[in-house]
Amino acid sequence: MGHVRRIEGPWQSIQIDYIGPLPAVQGGYKYCLVLVDVFSKWVEVLPLVLMGMRASQSKSTGYSPHELMTGRIMRTLVHVLAPVLTEGQLREVNRDRFHLDYGTGSFCLTMSVCRFIVFQFLVVFGHSAKQCYLPKSERPAVNSLLRTLLRRAESPGDPYPDAFLALRLANRHNLEGEDRFQEQLAKTAVRKVKQGENFPTGLTALYTLAFRSACLDPASISDGNDEVNLVKLLDGKLKEDMNKLESNKKPLTDYDQLTSAALALCIEKQPVPTTFVEKLIDRIMTDKGPFGKDFSIETASMSVLALKCLRDSPLNKIKILQLEKPIMKLLRTILGHKQNDWIFGTVYTTGLVVQAFLSVKEVQFKWFQCSDILKRLIDEIPKGTFNSVQRISQVIPALEGRTYLDVRSLDCTSDQDNLSGK
């Protein structure tokens, strides 16, 4: 008797078969592909050619029939697997849009290619059942990084808002230490605004995210005497940059800071200038600036987070598919920068990459093995690789399985005081 494989989660194992011939439709098409998830018994019936036609991009309109009807990209096997297949395997498939050209023969894939696609479908989704979590045995190592961030709050000089943000996104808390940290942040923010100190766009965005992570309203931050509105300040800074962009001049700050500002405003349920979003999308889709030859993994990851927030925002005025396309393109490009040791760019930027992929739960990528990446990051802790506040702050959210988008749903009343200061 053969070995019986144990199925522990959905989409870990799929049974596949063709059904047909069925009553022929116009064009003589009469076969469907049936997929059954062994774990949940969920059934998907996919009319092979009809799927391709509905998702195919029309040369005259620039959209597929499904997009014109729903305003959304139709998810197909080809759509999910375009990062996996080569151009030869996809033949005439438009890789930028993941769609088959409607009105051509490109959607009529041969049975052998269909079988190959199904095989790759299984490979991709077989990996998606794996969870991205921190093993309990590695908890002490991560706790040591959290304590380092807490000690920084006791040091002289301005506090780091990204360090506080990392502490708030952690699964262990030292409430007394975080309260002191929060108090220092409030005093520093008020001082900077009231005294007209240098307060760059990116730093203002981080302060805004940090206060929101503590369940405080960034539009009303007080040091006990004076009060400042960081949301209004951030909105003004972003609009000032938009005026520069609209006159075809270089913005006052880089796109890393601008995307951070867009993310913070989006999380605060504030409208983000459509001009900025359109400019950002254009630069991503045309490979300009930090999205082109000098590709910046850090800027790309922050852009994914910002665009994902905008996609889910009721205030967004841009079509969803126009936001999904740059997100997918950035994720594919980031994957192209993966090194053999599960590092993307540098070990420090890899934490932001994990956040970017965790934020897009609708799509799973074969080459993004979260558990392996976390293990790689954890292995660096005893080596002293994360030897600064900024480096620790970048990696903590990823190690905790969180993203900056999670500050929207944090419940501060449920925090447990379970991290000692030693």
Comma-separated ranges of CATH 1.50.10.20 domains in the chain:
136-414
DSSP H helices, 247-341, are 255-267, 274-285, 297-312, 320-335
Higher pLDDT pick, 76 / 286: 286
H or E segment to which residue 221 belongs: strand 221-222
Q: Is the model's pLDDT at 82 over the cut of 50?
A: no
> Pick from 297, 298, 212: which is nearest to 260 by CA?
298
Decide: helix, strand or coil at residue 373.
helix
Which residues, 6+ apart, have CB-to-CB distance to 346 below 8 Å?
none
Percentage, residues of the chain above pLDDT 90:
50
Decide: helix, strand or coil at residue 155.
coil
Q: Is the model's pLDDT at 284 over the cut of 80?
A: yes
Higher pLDDT pick, 172 / 256: 172
Q: How far apart are CA 242 and CA 237, in angstroms?
A: 9
Residue 115 vs residues 3, 91, 106, 119, 367: alpha-carbon distances, Å: 25, 15, 16, 6, 21
H or E segment to which residue 43 belongs: strand 43-47
Overall fold of domain 136-414:
Glycosyltransferase (1.50.10)
Rg (CA), the chain: 24
Span 145-170, pLDDT tens digits: 999 999 887 788 899 999 999 999 99
Identify the pLDDT of residue 261. Answer: 96
DSSP H helices, 195-296, are 201-213, 230-246, 255-267, 274-285
Higher pLDDT pick, 115 / 48: 48
Whether pTM > 0.75 for this model: the answer is no
- The residue behind tokens 């995307």 is 259
In the structure encoding, which two tokens stand for residue 332, read together?
């594919």
Identify the pLDDT of residue 85. Answer: 38
Which residues, 6+ apart, have CB-to-CB distance to 249 below 8 Å?
none
